[in-house]
Chain A
């Protein structure tokens, strides 16, 4: 028996699960009754390897002890997110999934992936690779494993509810554990066929988790090919004696033939050898017929095609095995060395570790004390010609300055990984062999093939030949870095595609199309900040805007952080200090808009998140009389004096007649309040009494009508242009503010109708929904909408409902929903409003690439303008004025972490980077005046059911006054409902009606006012 040899694989990593599977599989197989030493026993060699993932364990235990195990028998690791694998659960015979879980992570070859309910017991959770806390399946619910849109495996029968369970006894889907039979190699992809678990599953008692975390299958492993398991000398060895033999051991007995090895050295050339071990053996010794020369580099290659499995001669080695070593003696630069590419290898980590001597050309010199990188990058002078392996690496040289660009240096030290970058540390010798060498940079183009693709360039001199676009400069001030992307700056996925799979796919695509460009050091808050336009440092007047372009950047592909955990270890191209590099020429492709794009019209409406306008620097409270809280804005009068001119510049530039403000200090409306301060500052520029603000507390007779957060929304307007009419109204119900959570989340909304001199009106509603920044009760669903989506959906729903109740009492249908909804264009809250008939003006007037905000280097708009259908036709133009999102945040008013020189140079009184959000500006030509006098609002009940009384709401008013004669023709030949009201009702008057039969009816409601003027509304209703 040669069983142990079966499991001696040449692969560097052999999952224990695979070993277990193979052992178990072998145990199931009939073994030879007698072993013949010369002929090795048959090896595990199964023809029908699994080609896809399938369920291998199903736990439907007590309480939430629920889990699914997914087995990978394909022989290759599988990235679940990249493959868009997901688990779907269909409750009670449903045909559409009630629960969808997008899987993330990797299933190793031969391994399993466990997804468990988040409230499962500790034993299950200990085995879980992913958890989810939705309402999971019971025994009568179908579960499927899907890849993209392809069903791979189904437990149960979709669309069929068996009542309690499928199967019987222990082998049933309720209150049992099911384990896939080891003979099963593929999932049950037919979702509609009858399901009997006994066919493919073994049953176990409730809560049995003995098998969770590993799976045994007689398929799914791949044929084992022979490979080299060890050599003497070892790979990368130095100081090998010139007379040494070379020993080679394989993972199994092999048969060698022909030219199955070559030996070649830098000085002594090719070597023949005498072979010990015959032609079939596990180990062979090569004794070179001539000894090696002193101090040279040698390469031994075992030729794959000439080495086959002794027991199965059709199976050859899968790849050549290459062994590099260097021999003892000689002078430093002429002796052998281990090439940099051999040290790097093709994997994520160094292929050779320990003491090595290597050599290369200095392509990046980052020597010196911190914050310098304290070392240099060398790249092999010729390279190995293998695109999959890097030819460069980092030499850590502490504070020494030993080399210059172009030097050919010989380095001896310890090879290994430091913060996941391959480097030589503990350097004992650096010898400059020659100078003036050049390396041609390797072109790297985006998008790359995978998240690990850039590893093949780690430490190398690279060129980025494409035009790359500045997509993030959030850390430009702190770390001196920008993120650049190919084709264009990157859109926030949920701004352009639906949340969920589509957003995940775009996110994955974005991730492969971007690269960090970093300065030469790991300095934090560097001065100067070297990345500005035109190769000049950043300043208030020399910005670096999102969308600016640099082409042909040459630098070192480092894998480093930038001096702090906040920067993260990542692939960073560092052009400064690289051979042929230098500060990139960022071209001002995205010009600063000195004024908003013209929006036309005769009325300008805007909304602006002003980024915490606080005129208090201490003693701030949660609303008037509330508990203490941080002052979120300027830290001091000094900072405030820098903030005010920027904010006022922006507001003056907007020149809005009606302006919704988001993020202003919530401290009432007194003379010292933030809103009074802002309007006073604005009037100081625009002229006395040009602007006024809406005092929502006074108008609603409430204190803190706009909530008790530290911030609130506000409305300011030009009294000479518009007059507030109707009721100032706030939406501050618990249902809206809490959004279903246990604490306040959304800031109350403010609605106000405004009237022009000609009588034309519209209604502005300013909002600030809960942000994505901190968690709410429901966890982030992972669909791209980030935290608190449910709270924002609830807010949008409440807002929609509120607006149907005519909160301003004007009955005007022209509504603009403004403000920071903290939801991108394709997210659920926006869809709630769109489905209610509101038109997303940024999408319809600007297009899908509209943006007002950048996060994580991805662009979209949180600052919305959504129009009711009646006002949409009165809109002449819409723009986001890109004064802020495009500008580096380091240019804002803050003085933190800035040198005295930077405090002066990085901030000016311009509108640019006055906030983190871009303001929205809308041009309107309101159709004058509202013709509906009397006004009439008819509110149907949620539904009509035949034979059941339901009530129609009728609300009316007129400038002419009472009496109001109301007639309702129900459209079903029953008598009209008629009445006369001597007052305009403050709430809809409900008039009940019972329809005898189902069907469609036309209801006609008319109201006639004192003057005899009438308004009629007709609606078609469907009786169920």
Chain B
């Protein structure tokens, strides 16, 4: 049986956005204003690569993600590894990632809130949470993009990671509020190094790292996902403030040289 006439797209490309990687440029500009032009080249030189699974036209809804009287999915995300390309060949920093959510077809969606996380993935559950986002409000329109900046999260080679959304630990959620995540069917698999995973059990983040997730994924379904990686760390505004001290500058330069 043929699931889809349109093969899902996977785009992993290395872009050399010479000297003006958008975020970097913005950051550089900020840094220059604060500190002077001598700092700018440090960031502007970072090369980035993107991991993009699927597109809007291929996406289908998967859910319910949220909170329902009869139970629903409390955490849902995509497992991945750092890209196997030249940019991430030595060091690799995750700068941001995106999921797309829609209000549920079958349930009320108002009142849904969520947080995003990046953690290591041991094959059945998340471990060692590396990143957690601020709280966000759920989708109000179909296929609404949710992007989270991860501030040069350093990723190791050979480790599988997970980026996911969850409602656990959030107070004041209504009894009914659900969203669907844009997902991508694949045959062949659009992304061989990870899959969409979810769990319907868990009340706090600790549950997600101590208990096997309900669905650890297969090769057929991935989340519609987009992430950006760089070979070098990119300072954030808050980091740039730290650059005001010479020690920070030295530290930063030292790390850069190691890369």
Q: Verify if A699 is at the interface (C-beta below 8 Å from B).
A: no
B183-226 interface code vs A (CB 8 A; 1 in, 0 out): 10100000000000010100000000000001100000100000
Could you tell me if A983 and B73 are in contact, using CB atoms closer than 8 angstroms?
yes
Q: A962-B214, A963-B221, A1010-B215 are in contact. Are A982 and B63 (CB under 8 A)?
A: yes
B79-122 interface code vs A (CB 8 A; 1 in, 0 out): 00000000000000000000000000110000000000000000
Q: A963-B221, A983-B72, A1010-B215 are in contact. Are A978 and B106 (CB under 8 A)?
A: no
Closest to A988 in B: B106
Q: Determine the chain A residues whose CB is within 8 A of the CB of B63 once the complex forms.
A: 979-982
Q: Verify if A845 is at the interface (C-beta below 8 Å from B).
A: no
Smallest Cβ distance from B242 to chain A, in angstroms?
42
The B interface is mostly helix, strand or loop, or mixed, namely: strand
Smallest Cβ distance from A957 to chain B, in angstroms?
12
Interface centre among A962, A967, A981 (most CB of B within 10 A): A981
Q: Which of B1, B3, B71, B105 touches A991 (beta carbons < 8 Å)?
A: B105
Smallest Cβ distance from B185 to chain A, in angstroms?
7
Interface residues of A in 972-1003 (CB under 8 A from B): 978-983, 985-986, 989-991
Q: How large is the interface on B (under 10, 10 to 19, 20 to 34, 35 or more residues)?
A: 20 to 34
Q: Determine the chain B residues whose CB is within 8 A of the CB of A962 once the complex forms.
A: 200, 214-215
Q: Determine the chain A residues whose CB is within 8 A of the CB of B3 once the complex forms.
A: 967
Closest to B74 in A: A982
Inter-chain CA distance A389–B239, complex, in Å, is 126
Could you tell me if B105 and A989 are in contact, using CB atoms closer than 8 angstroms?
yes
Closest to A986 in B: B70
Q: Which of B180, B198, B215 touches A979 (beta carbons < 8 Å)?
A: B180
Could you tell me if B72 and A985 are in contact, using CB atoms closer than 8 angstroms?
no
Q: Verify if B65 is at the interface (C-beta below 8 Å from A).
A: yes
Smallest Cβ distance from B250 to chain A, in angstroms?
50
Q: Verify if B64 is at the interface (C-beta below 8 Å from A).
A: yes
Interface Cβ pair total, 8 Å cutoff: 55
Q: A978-B60, A990-B106 are in contact. Are A983 and B70 (CB under 8 A)?
A: yes
Q: A963-B221, A990-B106 are in contact. Are A983 and B185 (CB under 8 A)?
A: no
Inter-chain CA distance A979–B107, complex, in Å, is 14
Inter-chain CA distance A57–B153, complex, in Å, is 99
Q: Determine the chain B residues whose CB is within 8 A of the CB of A978 once the complex forms.
A: 60, 185
Interface centre among A961, A965, A980 (most CB of B within 10 A): A980
Could you tell me if B215 and A982 are in contact, using CB atoms closer than 8 angstroms?
yes
B1-34 interface code vs A (CB 8 A; 1 in, 0 out): 1010000000000000000000000000000000
Could you tell me if B61 and A979 are in contact, using CB atoms closer than 8 angstroms?
yes
Q: Determine the chain A residues whose CB is within 8 A of the CB of B214 once the complex forms.
A: 961-962, 982
Q: Verify if B76 is at the interface (C-beta below 8 Å from A).
A: yes
Smallest Cβ distance from A574 to chain B, in angstroms?
72
Closest to B71 in A: A983
Inter-chain CA distance A963–B1, complex, in Å, is 18
Q: Determine the chain A residues whose CB is within 8 A of the CB of B1 once the complex forms.
A: 1006, 1014
Closest to A978 in B: B60
Q: Verify if B62 is at the interface (C-beta below 8 Å from A).
A: yes
Q: Determine the chain A residues whose CB is within 8 A of the CB of B72 once the complex forms.
A: 982-983
Q: Which of B64, B76, B105, B180 touches A983 (beta carbons < 8 Å)?
A: B64
Inter-chain CA distance A991–B104, complex, in Å, is 12
Closest to A985 in B: B106
Interface residues of A in 873-891 (CB under 8 A from B): none
Q: Determine the chain B residues whose CB is within 8 A of the CB of A1006 once the complex forms.
A: 1
Could you tell me if B106 and A989 are in contact, using CB atoms closer than 8 angstroms?
yes
Smallest Cβ distance from A958 to chain B, in angstroms?
13
Could you tell me if A982 and B105 are in contact, using CB atoms closer than 8 angstroms?
no
Could you tell me if A979 and B70 are in contact, using CB atoms closer than 8 angstroms?
no
Inter-chain CA distance A980–B72, complex, in Å, is 13
Inter-chain CA distance A667–B63, complex, in Å, is 44
Could you tell me if B62 and A963 are in contact, using CB atoms closer than 8 angstroms?
yes
Smallest Cβ distance from B9 to chain A, in angstroms?
17
Could you tell me if B60 and A981 are in contact, using CB atoms closer than 8 angstroms?
no
Could you tell me if A982 and B62 are in contact, using CB atoms closer than 8 angstroms?
yes
- Pairs across A and B, CB under 8 Å, 19 listed: A962-B215, A963-B198, A963-B221, A967-B3, A978-B60, A978-B185, A980-B60, A980-B61, A980-B62, A980-B183, A980-B221, A982-B62, A982-B76, A982-B200, A986-B70, A989-B105, A1006-B1, A1010-B215, A1014-B1
The 10 A-B pairs with the shortest beta carbon distances in the complex, nearest first, are A980-B62, A982-B73, A978-B60, A986-B70, A979-B61, A989-B106, A982-B198, A979-B60, A963-B215, A983-B71
